[in-house]
């Protein structure tokens, strides 16, 4: 499961970690954790990223990103508290989700197509322009 502390990581003291973004992150974590639980019950293994000590991918920018972060656009979902990258070194998470799009719809989660996310799985509660639950960035 992903906690708010896992999500914000080393950026908890950033002035960009506003009340609105914290509330977004709480909604995100609730949806992510609910889908993760369903997936775990179906046998999907969520691995711990050695760099973050959680299921959050990357070194420091797989969860919340401050506005000064060079990764992502200024108003990216990560910078608004609406997206997370999950550690997926073998592609198992994305593989399962490709076969169970109904679960993405059920939990209101949108993922970047696995072709764009090698070793991680990008989940967001913000619908892309296409409205598709699996999209190309």
Q: pLDDT per residue over 58-88, tens digit each?
A: 988 899 999 988 888 888 999 999 999 999 9
Beta-bridge partner residues of 49? 54
Domain hosting 57: range is 4-135
Phi, psi of 112 (to 5 degrees): -70, 145
Domain of 83, CATH number, reads 3.30.1380.10
User: In Å, what is the CA distance from 55 to each residue of 68, 84, 86?
Assistant: 24, 10, 6
pTM value surpassing 0.85: yes
Give all strands of the β-sheet with 120-124 in edge-to-edge order.
Answer: 83-87, 120-124, 110-112, 134-135
Cα–Cα nearest to 125, from 45, 10, 7? 7
Number of domain units in the chain: 1
Q: Enter the tokens of residue 39.
A: 């997936």
The whole-number pLDDT of residue 66 equals: 94
């Amino acid at each position: 499961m992903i906690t708010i502390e896992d999500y914000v990581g080393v950026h908890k003291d950033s002035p960009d970690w506003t009340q609105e973004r914290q509330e977004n992150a709480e909604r995100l974590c609730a949806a992510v954790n609910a889908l993760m639980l369903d997936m775990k019950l179906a046998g999907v293994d969520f691995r711990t990223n050695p760099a973050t000590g959680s299921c959050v991918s990357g070194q420091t920018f797989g969860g919340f990103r401050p506005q000064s972060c060079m990764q992502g656009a200024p108003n990216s979902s990560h910078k608004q508290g609406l997206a997370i990258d999950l550690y997926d070194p073998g592609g198992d998470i994305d593989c399962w989700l490709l076969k169970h799009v109904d679960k993405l719809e059920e939990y209101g989660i949108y993922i970047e197509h696995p072709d764009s996310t090698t070793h991680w799985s990008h989940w967001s509660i913000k619908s892309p322009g296409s409205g598709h639950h699996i999209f190309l960035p």
